[in-house]
Structure 1
Amino acid sequence: MRASVAVVLALLFSVVTPIAASAATQVSEPVYDFAGAIRETVWVNTGLDGDADGQPDRVAADIVRPKEPAAQGIKIPVIMDASPYYACCGRGNESELKTYDSAGRPVGFPLFYDNYFVPRGYAIVLVDLAGTNRSQGCADVGGPSDVTSAKAVVDWLNGRAQGYTAKTGGSATTAGWSTGKVGMIGKSYDATIANGVAATGVDGLKTIVPIAGISSWYNYYRSDGATFGFNPVGLAQTVERGNSGQNCSAANQKLTQGATSNGDYGPFWSARDYLSTPGSVRASVLLSHGLGDLNVQTIHFGQWWDRLAANGVERKIWLSQTGHVDPFDYRRAQWVDTLHKWFDHYLLGIDNGIERGPMASIERAPDQWVDQSSWPAANTAGVTYRPHAGTSAGLGSLTTAPSSGAAAFTDSPRLSETDWAAQPSSVSANRLLYSTGKLDRDLQISGTSTITVTATPNTSTAQLSAVLVDYGPATIRNYTGSGEGIKTGTGETCWGANAPGDNGCYRVTTTDSVNVGSEIFSRGWADLGNYRSLSKEEPLTPGKPYTMTFRLASTDHVVPKGHQLALIIGGTDAGFLGQPRATTKFSVDLAKTSLNLPVVGAAPTFGLDVSVDLPLGLGHLRLNPEIRLG
């Protein structure tokens, strides 16, 4: 009896996951017919009624899966991308939308996942989030409805939720073809939903691959009490436009009321904060983020990663120099190979060693990658730096020695961080700048920095900004350009099989680089009125000093030998922050102001002359004040 069972198991494994001869290169092989794959839609009951029509919402899950395993009674795992963009905005660098035949059967599946993985024994499930495309309900921008949209499908794949053959009525249907093992993947909003579903701890979700994902929606719209000038309702209305049959006015009103005009953190944001339940995450995580991402900023991956690490989650990370870009469009072959091994390991159980390789892969210069055993890098420790007044007002040095004195500046809301940094040797009434001078060796900053500022405002409200600048010549990806670090060509490469209306060929992308004299590589913002608590803004007393600590964007950046690191302190950062309620004059207590940097190894020795020989000009474009997810 035992021998016959072993034979059956061996046969099943050989059919589902054919492998190469060497154990070190085991991979699933493309043995199934993609053109003849089963294509269907299942509407899954979420148990919610977001559109308030008195009926539970059903969300559409479009499925493509090989027919051969089902015919043989073999169950297969699922790769899922849950998105609100399949009708309104598209996915990938070429903005692909879902397409259907005249009977409503799904035909065109965006991205290469189906073309590549279905022949290898996976099902691809693309879920329309509630209120979008063909799903019922309403979008709630990362809230319970969004997350439940995707979680319900994971539950259905594991036999715990109801699925139907139609949007209304229809027959009940089950996922008897599924092993119940699910891997979620996606970029931006889609990645965010993967984070949110993982934070529920749902059984069956084995891994997630979040690309440029949000970990807390508060940090997408707010920053330590400061506001970015736009709110979730606009995004909800954008993604709901592709579903004209839903009335989401009431749900949209709740978004408007919940996202208060100030930067206070409250119940609305708590419901969209996936950091609050990190202990629930059981899925492994392959995370990717652009260090130049000014849309979903890097604090999102930094704080998510820290929570995952604290709870022992198995994980890896890719950090590129790009902006809001998918690795498929800047490191295509390596990314597909990594995804292949990752899903094979966590969904098919193949021991290919992917989990034992280096934890972090980081782009140091365009197309120049290094591996690290960890992120933050090994041997990283917090080092405190303090600003010191120089001979010119508002200019000085940045060292580890104690400081004294004060400096003053006036908030000018028309100026941005690029304006502040453009002339580092010049006195400005609108910012303070402190530099290390030329470094005698490389300085690697790996992790999330914090700044503590003690400032006295002359108004009852005030907002602060802090930026880190690497002064010195370099060639970097042009992450503030139109392609955010890539250029899209006319030729194509193909990744997987083709079927009528659904091919796996995509336009070739190349690196877009730029020569700069300086680079802003981290920044952070705060409302001084939230100095005591992010949950309650307080009116400030003019003439009274206040101390506030806030974070700067997570990074892994090397300031090379001979370059200078500078800290800039300013008020309203135009292009990021909304307009201030008053124009504030600040006096900053330098003795009680400090910058804590996560430095790798010993800190370099600083130069003595910080007032001359600083290169001018950033070579960066002015930032778009209306940044949205995409």
Structure 2
Amino acid sequence: MRQRDTDLSRRSILRGATAFGAASTLPLSAGVTAADPRREGPKPDMDEVDPERFDYDDAVREYEQIETRTGAEIWVDIIRPDTDEEVPTVMVVSPYYNTLGRGWKGEFKEPQEGPEYPTSPGAPLFSGDGETVPFPEWYDEYFVPRGYAVALMDLRGTRNSSGCQVYGDRDEVYDAVDVVDYLVETEWSNGAVGMTGGSYDGTIAIGAAAEQPQTGRNPEALQAIIPIRAIGRWYDYAFVNGAQIAGQSLITPSLFTEYLAAGDTQNAYTDDDRYALHVLERKACMGTFGAAVSAGHASPYQDATDEFWRERSFTKSAGLFNTPTFVIHGLFDYNVKTHNIGYLWERLPDDLPKKLWLFNDGHTDPHDPRDPEEGGSNLYPFQDRYVEAVHRWFCQYLKNVEAGAQIDPTYEVQGADGGWRDGGSYPASEEDLTLYLGPDGGASEGGAPGGVAAYADGPQSSAPDSRTFVTDPFDSDTRVSGQFGFELGIIADGTDATVAVEILDVPPDAEPGDDATTTMTPDREAPLLFSYAWVRAWYRDTVPMRGLSIPHDGEPLSPGALEEVAFGSLYTDVVIPEGHRLAFRVSNAAGGTLGSEQGGDVRIVCGSEGSRVNVPVAPPAGSDS
């Protein structure tokens, strides 16, 4: 490992990008500590302000093994233009380069060739037909000719990095921050790094933005992040308002720390003089750190303030972000659910340059250009729009060149027709439409008849599995933006109960019980399942109706007594068309959560002073953007 000069005084963290004079640089006040004002006029032509200037075939390709504060040796593959100019770096950190592959093509990193022994192709049995390439995804071919380095880092415990795969532990972020510091201290760096990536990769970008200003050697080195379908707080991946998500808490932790680790063979071979030690270490990790991580997720009762979860929370540090942040997430992502980015977005500093896109799909890759009938993952592909926006963001904040990153609206949402619209602020709701739940299954303004509506939470119950409450048809198109807020009075037979709500948009000729879809189109005939809400009543005193939820210090219910439970839904932004109805289907478990199985008959108390739903009504979105 080469020693790096750690004195950055000779270089500005914010540096003009061009030597060819076509672009204007921004004043220093447009850097990481103050939001850029919205600018008027057309966006700059990126082929003029940040064109291709270097030959990709002549690029410098190298790898580094960087020892971090955690003791791990982290492997980074780097490609950069062959130039004497100082260039910024686009960095992606991933656990998937040797197992599941990256991008919509599922590409692997090719093995690092050793001089004497054949190399392993990784573990393609986990990812199908993905090709093995030097630099997966699109960043290298796009950005290197435009004067950026691209650095792809193997997450600790994966591919050629040592250490244990610890699934969300803070060591992953410490490693990333130390690599950022290392990169900006190279002789070829302009002192700026941007991070991006989807899912786990984007999660590390968020974590690095939280950690860099606190413990990085160069607190302002991370100049931009673009997290895509990413986690803001690991608790919110496995639990929602205290309700346990089965797959994310009981299966996924061991998938990463044990199953994938078993097939993820280090393939640096003799280029790594500690290869044999790293092989032994990785196998030992599975029964130690791996087992501990799985055990940490297993209990259905989790205090979100415990150290296990606190070190896995980046949202708690969002107010310290000094990194311009562009968040991209699917409206119907029921893997990394939207409360992950909703909580994060609402806590970012007001003066931080930021942008939010919510697109009309799920846990998918915005770079996928294919139509759905051709196997594409997105209902309405938007690759060109996405690539241009990523380029503008990185150009403006890594090269300090006016690229129009703040000309478009701060928040944009993709509608049922695939068009993008100015969403205003987010959440955009300005008032609540309060609906009272009735024992007859109605949900209406102005009150409801008294009584109870019961559902079952456990085998000892004789109540139906679920109860559904339906509104009258809407008189006009109505936008709902943000979180539905639930205020329920419940009487349970047992000492705990879970509440799960499926929120549906029901067209005129459909019924709430019909098979629902999560595909939002203008001509849809089936109910649209567009959001969920969950809560474990054990944590009723520490779960708010809306906003960041930190369940802790739970207490049992008093069987047979009235208890008040308030909780929020996932974040959303959709339009309920004229003539459609809203439906709320309430049960003890839905969407992959686990019921408490302890409540017995759970009775929802109805009436004018009883249980209600606060619908976040918002003004119509702005013109097409």
The residue that corresponds to 2:340 in the other structure is 300
The residue that corresponds to 1:599 in the other structure is 617
1:46 counterpart (60, 68, 77): 68
Deviations 1:70-90 (A, max 9, x none): xx3x21000011111111111
- The question of 1:275 aligning with 2:315 is answered yes
2:503 counterpart (456, 465, 468): 468
SS at match of 2:389: helix
* TM-score of the two chains, using structure 2 as the length reference: 0.77
The residue that corresponds to 2:3 in the other structure is none
Map 1:247-262 → 2, pairs under 5 A: 247-248=284-285, 249-262=287-300
Query: What is the alpha-carbon distance in structure 1 between the residues aligned to residue 344 and residue 502 of structure 2?
Result: 22
The residue that corresponds to 2:597 in the other structure is 581
- The question of 1:31 aligning with 2:53 is answered yes
Offset at 1:468?
1.8
Offset at 1:32?
0.6
Distance 1:588 1:11, change over 3 A: closer
Aligned-residue Cα RMSD (Å) equals: 3.0
Q: How many residues align?
A: 515
Query: What is the alpha-carbon distance in structure 2 between the residues aligned to residue 411 and residue 34 of structure 1?
Result: 62
Distance 1:46 1:374, change over 3 A: same
Distance 1:568 1:312, change over 3 A: farther
Deviations 1:556-598 (A, max 9, x none): 111011111222322222x411253336211112233222232
The residue that corresponds to 1:51 in the other structure is none
Instruction: Using the TM superposition, name which of 533-542 and 175-184 deviates more.
Output: 533-542
Query: What is the alpha-carbon distance in structure 2 between the residues aligned to residue 83 and residue 224 of structure 1?
Result: 28
SS at match of 1:259: helix
The residue that corresponds to 1:335 in the other structure is 386
Offset at 1:63?
0.4
Query: What is the alpha-carbon distance in structure 1 between the residues aligned to residue 189 and residue 140 of structure 2?
Result: 16
CA contact (8 A) 2:358 2:414 kept: yes
Offset at 1:386?
3.0
The residue that corresponds to 1:240 in the other structure is 261
Deviations 1:353-380 (A, max 9, x none): 2213211221112422222333223xx3
The residue that corresponds to 1:62 in the other structure is 77
- The question of 1:398 aligning with 2:413 is answered no
Distance 1:277 1:404, change over 3 A: farther
1:433 counterpart (465, 468, 479): 468
Deviations 1:306-327 (A, max 9, x none): 111x543211111111111121
Gap regions ≥5 residues in structure 2 = 1-13, 25-41, 120-131, 214-218, 267-278, 369-380, 511-515, 543-550, 621-625
Query: What is the alpha-carbon distance in structure 2 between the residues aligned to residue 143 and residue 17 of structure 1?
Result: 44
1:517 partner amino acid? A
Query: What is the alpha-carbon distance in structure 2 between the residues aligned to residue 110 and residue 119 of structure 1?
Result: 16
Instruction: Using the TM superposition, name which of 240-249 and 552-561 deviates more.
Output: 240-249
Query: What is the alpha-carbon distance in structure 1 between the residues aligned to residue 114 and residue 398 of structure 2?
Result: 32
2:537 counterpart (520, 528, 538): 528
1:437 partner amino acid? D
Instruction: Using the TM superposition, name which of 289-298 and 102-111 deviates more.
Output: 102-111
The residue that corresponds to 2:7 in the other structure is none
The residue that corresponds to 2:126 in the other structure is none
Deviations 1:346-404 (A, max 9, x none): 11111122213211221112422222333223xx3241513242xxx5411322x2445
Distance 1:121 1:238, change over 3 A: farther
1:66 partner amino acid? P
The residue that corresponds to 2:202 in the other structure is 191
Query: What is the alpha-carbon distance in structure 1 between the residues aligned to residue 173 and residue 136 of structure 2?
Result: 21
- The question of 1:451 aligning with 2:456 is answered no
Query: What is the alpha-carbon distance in structure 2 between the residues aligned to residue 191 and residue 527 of structure 1?
Result: 29
* TM-score of the two chains, using structure 1 as the length reference: 0.76
Deviations 1:224-251 (A, max 9, x none): 1111123323332244331461121221
Deviations 1:492-535 (A, max 9, x none): xxxxxxxxxxxxxxxxxxx9998332112111111111112422
Query: What is the alpha-carbon distance in structure 1 between the residues aligned to residue 398 and residue 195 of structure 2?
Result: 11
CA contact (8 A) 2:74 2:154 kept: yes
Offset at 1:260?
4.6
The residue that corresponds to 2:362 in the other structure is 323
Query: What is the alpha-carbon distance in structure 2 between the residues aligned to residue 17 and residue 126 of structure 1?
Result: 30
Distance 1:83 1:537, change over 3 A: same
Offset at 1:406?
2.8
Deviations 1:108-132 (A, max 9, x none): 1110100000000000001111111
Offset at 1:18?
7.1
CA contact (8 A) 1:224 1:525 kept: yes
2:501 partner amino acid? A
2:164 partner amino acid? C
CA contact (8 A) 1:398 1:566 kept: no
Map 1:339-488 → 2, pairs under 5 A: 339-377=390-428, 380-389=429-438, 393-399=439-445, 401-403=446-448, 405-411=450-456, 429-472=464-507
Offset at 1:189?
0.6
Distance 1:465 1:136, change over 3 A: same
Deviations 1:30-83 (A, max 9, x none): 1111112111111112211xxxxxxx211111101011x2xx3x2100001111
CA contact (8 A) 1:17 1:348 kept: no
Distance 1:540 1:374, change over 3 A: closer
SS at match of 1:355: coil
Which runs of structure 1 show a deviation greater than 3 angstroms over 4 or more consecutive aligned residues? 9-12, 15-19, 103-107, 511-516, 579-583
Offset at 1:454?
1.4
Query: Percent same amino acid among aligned pairs?
Result: 29
Structure with more of its chain in strand, by fraction: 1
The residue that corresponds to 1:134 in the other structure is 160
Gap regions ≥5 residues in structure 1 = 1-8, 49-55, 160-174, 415-427, 486-510, 603-630
The residue that corresponds to 1:541 in the other structure is 558
CA contact (8 A) 1:57 1:130 kept: yes
The residue that corresponds to 2:190 in the other structure is 179
Distance 1:516 1:133, change over 3 A: farther
